[in-house]
Structure formats: C-alpha cells, structure tokens
Structure 1
Amino acid sequence: MQNKCNLKVLYIGDFLKKNGPSWVDISLTNELEKINGLILSKVQINFKFDDYLNNISSNDIVHISGISFKGLCYMIVAKILKKKTSMTSHGSLKVTKKIVKVKKYREIMESSIFLFSDLIVGVSEKYAALLKSSYPKRQHKIKAINNGIEIQNNIQVMEAEISNNEKFIITFGGGRSDKGVLGVCEAIEELNKKREQRNKEYKLIVIGEDGPFTDKIKEYPFVQYKGFVNKKTVQDYILVSGLYIQNSWLETFCMSALEALHLEKSVILSKNVFLPIHLNSERYFDYNNKTMIRNKIEKFYEVKDENVDLTKLNWKISANKYLSEWSKLKNSDRNEK
C-alpha cells in the first residue's frame, strides 16, 4: 500500500477529444486518481471558467497539459497566488513552426507558459533534450517523463474489408503537411508500378485528421482514407497491416508506433520520430526520402523487430514520476517559506 502523499493537484487538460494529447490526459489522470493521498481535480480545457479562483487557491499544484489560453490564464493566477505550477509539453510550437505555419499569438502563449511554469515535462527523453536546446534559458525546469502505453491482451482481430491478396501498410497523420503521408503515397505508387502481380499491390490505410493534403491523398487508388477513428478501430487496422510507417517531420513520443510494436507489427520510421525505446537503426529513414521509404518497405514488410522491450512504458510508472516531481515542487515551496 502506498503512503499518503497529501498533495492536491489541479489538472487542466482535454478529457473529451481522444486524440493523442487527450489520450495522455485521460490515461495519466486515470492512474493519478488511484494514488492514495493525491487529491486530483480535473478541469476540461475548452469549457467555461467555473470558480477558477477557488479551484486554484485550494490546490498545491496547478498543472496544464498543452498550450491553451485557458491554461495560461490559470497559470498566471496561480503565480499571483504563489502556487507551484507545471505543464506537459506534447510538442513545441517554436520547433514545429519550421514546417507548419504557427500563429504568433500561440508562440507567445507557449513562451509565456514556459516562463511561468516551475516544471516543464517533455513526453520523451529525446523530446525533452530538444526542448532544452530550443529553450536554453528554461532547461533547468525541463524534465523527461515518458508517456505510457495501454497494454491489452487477448485482442481480437476485426472482420475487416481486407483481402488475403492485398498487402496493407498503415500510417498516421491524415492530410496534415507535417505528417508526411503524401510522401508515403508517392513511394508506394512507385513500388506498385514495379510489381508484376497487380492483385498483390501495396494498399495504404491512412488514419488521422484532415489537412491541406487530404484531397490529394484520397486520389491515390490504393489508399483507404479512414480519417479520425476511435482507439479500438485504430488497433484493428494495425492488426490487419503488415507494416506500420511514420514519415513525420517530428513526433515527440509516437504512441501509435509503440502500439504497433506491442501488437508485434513491423515498424519503420522517420529519424525525427522519437521513441523512448531502442529500435534497430536500419528501421529509420530520412524524413520524406522516397527512395529510402521504398527500400525500407520492401525490406521490412511483415518483418518484425524481435528485440523490443515495452515493459517500462506504462501509465502507473508515468503517474508515479509526475507525483515525485510534484512532491518536490511542494517541498521546495515549504522550504522557501
């Protein structure tokens, strides 16, 4: 049995959308709520402000997940009330603006939240290192806490619209420009032109939200564009695929890749995809390099990596690391007084 920690934390996050960052908030707080002595209050990030002054004043730590105006407001008030603050960074706007257009006010919000945070959590070791190099004046506040993954056993394969004569590949990112799905399509198109047996050409399942390249991606005859689907359906499509590929410009943790590895699927990744585990270096390629992508597909289709250890990636471990960092903040506040 865990000892009581006597800690009150206000957690501002997204518990409804169920995209990547939202799944982090849901999964992490589910584990945090099991900790004896930790009193966790949750605030939905896009709902109206309800009695937020009282919410902040009655807690020891104010934690926000991601970048939002509401989160910034909570953090400013928390600092006025001399409360300790922390935030989870799922991806830095200062970094991603190199490839994706970022509105200036959102950049200012990120810089301000980083300024007011006593603790900045990067969701993987490699991403935390990138944050430190991008924000050198804040590096003393940046810590790495890996996200967990949800381990499920006895998973049943869906009755899918998949033919035995088709070789399916799965990728994530929808039509977003930074996810590189269009580059994957171009590489597969070249591979299919070389294949002699047309009934065994590669097919591509595309998961994710729409973006500027959605219509172009849908034009490829071998693409099954699924858009945004629930977590169970994602797992189903991974199970019927012979290869998972992620050609992203940057992924700070890439939970879907880890889920594919857990399901014992072959995985190939852009070198900018950060995983908190060791993966054979041959499975990485330069971002959007079509020649490398074609070669990796041919080499690794249905060839899984046998040496992947995911045992240390679970939400209980992540929750306890957050608890440890929050306890340090509370104790430092006591020492200051």
Structure 2
Amino acid sequence: MNTGIHLDAWGGLPTHPFPVLDEETDEADRAAAMRELPAADEVAWRITVSCDEPEETWTEAFDRFLETVDPGRVRALVIGCWPEAYDSGPDEIFAAIVAAKARFTSLRAVFVGDIHSEECEISWINQGRVSTLLEAFPALEEFGVRGGQNLDFSAVRHENLRRLVVQAGGLPAEAVRGVAGCELPALVDLELWLGTSDYGGDSDLDDLAPILAGDRLPRLTRLALRNSEIQDAICTAVASAPVVARLDELDLSMGVLTDDGIVALLGGQPLDHLKSLDLRHNYVSAEIGARLTATLAGVSVDLDAADAYSYEDGDNVWRYVSVAE
C-alpha cells in the first residue's frame, strides 16, 4: 500500500479535489478550475488545505464548497489535510460537517485523513472522535480513516455501514476495542491496519476476539487484519476463528508473517472455501509457501514478498511491517 499518494476513488466514485486557495495558483487558473467542476454526484469530493501555513482553514474551504456544490447531491466526501495535522485533530472539521448534515441528504461515503506521506506521515496524523460522523450519518455505507494518533473510535451501532477501513502505522488498542465493540449488522468488508508498537499499535488478540468471533458482524465476507507485527499470532487465532467460515476474502498482508503463521493456518480449519487469501509482504520460505498454495489449490493465494525488508544484527533478525511511520 502506497501512502505517498492520495486516494484515487472512494465510495465507488473517482476522487476529485475541490480547488484550493493557495499562493501558487493564480486567479485565472482558480477561476477555470471552478468553472470545470464535475457534477456533484459524479465524484468523491476531496476537500483539503495545505498542512503548513494554508491560505484558508479547512472549514473555510468547506464553506466555499457548500456555496459552490449542491450538498444534497454529494454522495462521497473525502477529508484531506487540515492545518498542522501533525499537532491537531479534525474535531472542528467534524463539527462543521455535522452542522451541515441536513444538507447532505445523499451522502453515503466518508474518508477522514486522505493525507499522503509528504504532507504528514501516517503515524503523525492526529485524529479525533471519528465515530461522531457515524452517529451523525446513519445512511453511510462506507467509512474510512487514516492515522492512529489520538484516534477515538467509540463503539456504535450502525445499521447501514457496509465497508469500514482504518489505516494506521500503529492502531491503539482502545480504538481496536471500539471497532470490535461496534454493532454493524450490514458490514461486509472490515479492514484494520494494526501497525507496530513503535508507533502506538499496542492491541493484542484479546482486543480482536469479538471480531474473530463475528457475532456482531453477521454479513461479513471480507476481513483484512493487515500491517501487523503480531501477524503470526493473528494467523494462529484465525486458524480457529468462527468468522472465517463465512468469509470469501481473508487478507493478512503487509505484516511480519513468517513460516510459523503459515504452519498455523495449515493446521487449522479448512480455508478452501475462500476465493482469495492475501499474504503479500511476508517473510515466508519458498517451501512453506509452496505447501500452502498446494493445499489451497482452488484459492487465489498471493504470497508476493517483493517489498518485505529485514536485516540481521548478530543473532537478531529484524523484520518490518509495510507501513509504520
């Protein structure tokens, strides 16, 4: 996963940036960009400002957006960078969006923190109480968030959410417990980037237990527990997790996965009902990898390890998740 670029789509729509006020864009170019805006319901609108010394605040840009684009037709909203995202969270942004919620009658998808690494590293992004937006918009079907610092994901019940993505270089245990405690009867796709303890990722298997049990996720068909330094332990838990029998897609990619994790999967419940098993970015030997693919001959198994990096220091072997800082 490349966090050095912005989302190219969200909510089933291509992203489109709402024109930014900055010193590098002259008035004529800005006016041309405003004239050439797509229809309100054709794109996922990305509203952003510069992270450092912007010409306007995010909420000022949002006010311009509301004056320009019909919010009643907007289907997807992407929150980009806000001023000094490495020091402050988006609570004012949430308040502005909630204040305008009556106008967003068609809103079905929101992503918070579409900030690439040159703007602010993923583990520096300050978040807030993101479940505020879930509570304010009961018709949402897709919700995503990037950044784990100060992330508050309180447990909520949401009847219509179908996809939930939380990306972090280190996802706090409290946030994992919040997600695990949510009642999400319509959810079909859950993706968590658990990260590393070096950047606040301190969750363990107990925190994930409600997700692996699946009692609150009756319609789940894709589960992604990615980017984890405890990937082998997760594989051991997944090997007997009740939720797995219902899945079409299982994603355990981007983490520190070794032969031990694969052996645990091979010794657990059958996985041949899966359509796909994503294990990219791993530290798995060719021999064990071949055993897995032979056992799951009818499953699309991705064991590409091209971007996995490790080094040896004496008797120690250091391995890394795909996305940390």
- TM-score when normalising by structure 1: 0.30
Name the structure, 1 or 2, with higher relative contact order (CA <8 Å, separation 6+).
Answer: 1
